[in-house]
Amino acid sequence: MNKHRSLSFSEFVNEHYQGVTSHLTDAQFALIYLIFKGKTHALQQPYRSMDTKELRIMGGLSDQTVRHRIREMQILSGQEDAARKGDEYFETILAKMTDRENLNVSDLRKTARLFYNFQEMPAEDVAAIANEAFTEENQEKGQHYYDKNIEKQAKYAQDAKQKHSKERTAIQQHVSDYSKAFAKGGDLAAGRNKAIGHAAQKFGKTEAEIRKMLA
């Protein structure tokens, strides 16, 4: 019988773990864990009444950081089946957790170590750790991350709008030019239909999408 099976994960880790650095604090990891588990109600007020966006800001976390850490936690908990590039480490750790003989805890990333530790703790105890993330400094960082994300989204939307406008103009011009070229015997309607089919192939769209842009 595996001798490690008699130990809790935290006891097992504490016997071997030397520690690695991370830009996130234990309190921030605890907050992400509660968000992942849907147990933010265990936080003290006013935080327990806040939505995820507000908690990210108050805890000094970016949207991207939360999404990535939750993705890792989904894998570690066996909830995520669709592998992506970069998932290999967490999939390996999940597999090794079934037999700790092959688990080198000194290689554990902070997400994995704390995730399994938090799983053994009552939500209220994890929340007590997470409450320490709500500092004035973290709130300023979180607001900065949020503002930068909004700015990035606005720029993306503007770029997408400009790209769509340019593409629409190019398609309209293309159909106009080819309608005349394809209008054999002066049949402009037939020429336009053929030009629309030609534009669909050239621009990688359906004929319905082309017609919508011409409307």
For the stretch 141-163, pLDDT in tens is 999 999 988 887 777 777 778 88
Total count of domains within the chain: 2
Query: Using alpha carbons only, what angle is made at residue 26 by residues 20 and 28, rounded to the nearest 5 degrees?
Result: 125
Q: What is the DSSP string of 17-45?
A: ------SS-HHHHHHHHHHHHT-GGGSPT
Residues 152 and 27: their CA atoms lie apart, in Å, by 27
Residues 128 and 166: their CA atoms lie apart, in Å, by 53
As a whole number, the mean pLDDT across the chain is 82
CA atoms within 13 A on the CB side of 25: 14
Q: Does residue 146 belong to any structural domain of this protein?
A: no
Task: Assess whether 207 and 102 both reside in one domain.
Answer: no
What pLDDT sits at residue 102? 65
Query: Using alpha carbons only, what angle is made at residue 87 by residues 81 and 89, rounded to the nearest 5 degrees?
Result: 120
Mean pLDDT of 77-86: 66
**Residue 101: which domain range?**
8-134
Task: Assess whether 123 and 62 both reside in one domain.
Answer: yes
Query: Which amino acid makes up residue 155?
Result: K
Q: Does residue 80 belong to any structural domain of this protein?
A: yes
Contact 171, 214 (CB under 8 A): yes
pTM: 0.62
Contact 146, 58 (CB under 8 A): no
